[in-house]
Chain A
């Protein structure tokens, strides 16, 4: 496939008088590992919402595999191969942890593979995914019993369950111990080796630097830097706006 997997052109979004995003241009190549960083409130999650269809951008356009996404509902974009985790976890509270993963397996995956998995395969796949994030012990429990950290892992697992081509991980590592961070980075790297393009949104710089092939920086709704991690991190504007003096 020629051309970038995801093309974001001049995307803008306002909330009343507040400009959340302005003139965002961003490309993500197939198989790339992109890190997205910036201070709180800089518009990272808003951008994710616009890409995935939870919000609609007022200006600009988003293309996925060359196809314009504007006007498509969020569920349609997921069918095309986009998946995201929510920064503030949004589990399905009345379903068990395992059943939370069943939803994308039932509704996102079948769109691409032609058949529905059998009930046994579904159960197995749910457990498999939970194992990958370290939650299989809690499979039968309700999300209510999970800690914040575990809920973030569930969010990631749920996004993975949709078998995406592009996975957006929105602050999944907040609150994790260094060992757990290593686990998640390992998991994401393995997913990437399988061909999944990943956008990692994080505040934990160590993880971002290790993981990303490319780094983009958002400040106050604008992209102020985009390039190799080492260069971006040494960029004076980035340092003063976000990384600290």
Chain B
């Protein structure tokens, strides 16, 4: 199936989902759904570097947070341009303000992509294991920088005022519905990109790096360049997922934005779903994300993290190829006479 067809179909499914949720008239579904969709994006993004290339990124939270804080910073700049920018720039920008979320997402994606590239450049020459540790290090360094950056509130945090209503084309809808729709679109885009990569020359290159980087080099694969591409795309998508978050939650502080749940879920969801294709992260995010939402509401949020940890360890030990792998094996077994 060509990628445009896939995109169109996924978009239609998304639109259907959106309409259904609207029809049910339960605001909670939008709040919970937003979080699950956000994880679809994060898991898919992580998998591009982690599953396809085999480079584990422990710093997903950092890229997410870059997205969050780019949006906060840009929003703050936009709310009072005269104070921060020279006059002619401020008046030039005026008709564009306040910056709509899609624009903030692009800014966030750009920022996160640049950081992804930079981080990759510094760390991708390292063996896989050292790369993983280095990503952890970068996340902490970044968090420390943000905590000490007063413009975005530092450790005190920053408040974002959420508008009451928004427009989706000619139709006026509630704000949370608007955020949900945006995240849905981003999820469809992320899945399309992942699928496109998977089936392309790039995807083969990634797979060769994952399987045996030395042999890949000998076959002419420019491994460093490909890894940088993966890191940049992965980082950019995660940043874009973070941009609407301040508007979703109203108040951001570094501990939450850099929270461990983001790092763990970005890794757990693809590993549980299956890392070799775009389906895995989607499945993992849907299953695990929904489980966590249910657990948070019914039991407690500490327990929901326990679920993630146990499932991760369980799957990694027993079913390393994830849900996708299990299904494949089952089909294989059934096909044999």
Contacts and interface: CB of A to CB of B under 8 A. Distances in A.
Interface stretch (B59-67, B131-139, B168-176, B220-228): B220-228
Interface in A17-31: none
Given A75-B220, A94-B276, A106 B201 contact: yes
B75 interface: no
Interface in A140-158: 158
Contacts, number: 80
Interface size class of A (residues with CB under 8 A): 20 to 34
Given A92-B207, A94-B276, A103 B219 contact: yes
Interface stretch (B22-30, B208-216, B280-288): B208-216
Interface string A86-124: 100011111100010011101111010000100000000
Interface in B233-277: 276
A90 B215 contact: yes
A111 B211 contact: no
Given A92-B207, A94-B207, A99-B204, A107 B221 contact: yes
A73 interface: yes
A92 B208 CA distance: 6
Interface size class of B (residues with CB under 8 A): 20 to 34
A138 interface: no
A54 interface: yes
Contacts of B212: 90-93
A103 B221 contact: yes
Interface SS, B side: helix
Contacts of B216: 75, 92, 103
A73 B208 contact: no
Contact of A83 (B201, B207, B210, B218): B218
A106 B218 contact: no
A200 B201 CA distance: 31
A74 B208 CA distance: 15
B217 A94 contact: no
A52 interface: yes
Contacts of A53: 217
A83 B217 CA distance: 11
Given A86-B218, A107-B205, 12 more contacts: A54-B217, A75-B221, A75-B222, A75-B223, A90-B212, A92-B208, A93-B212, A103-B205, A103-B220, A106-B201, A107-B222, A108-B219
Interface of B: 201, 204-205, 207-208, 210-212, 214-224, 276
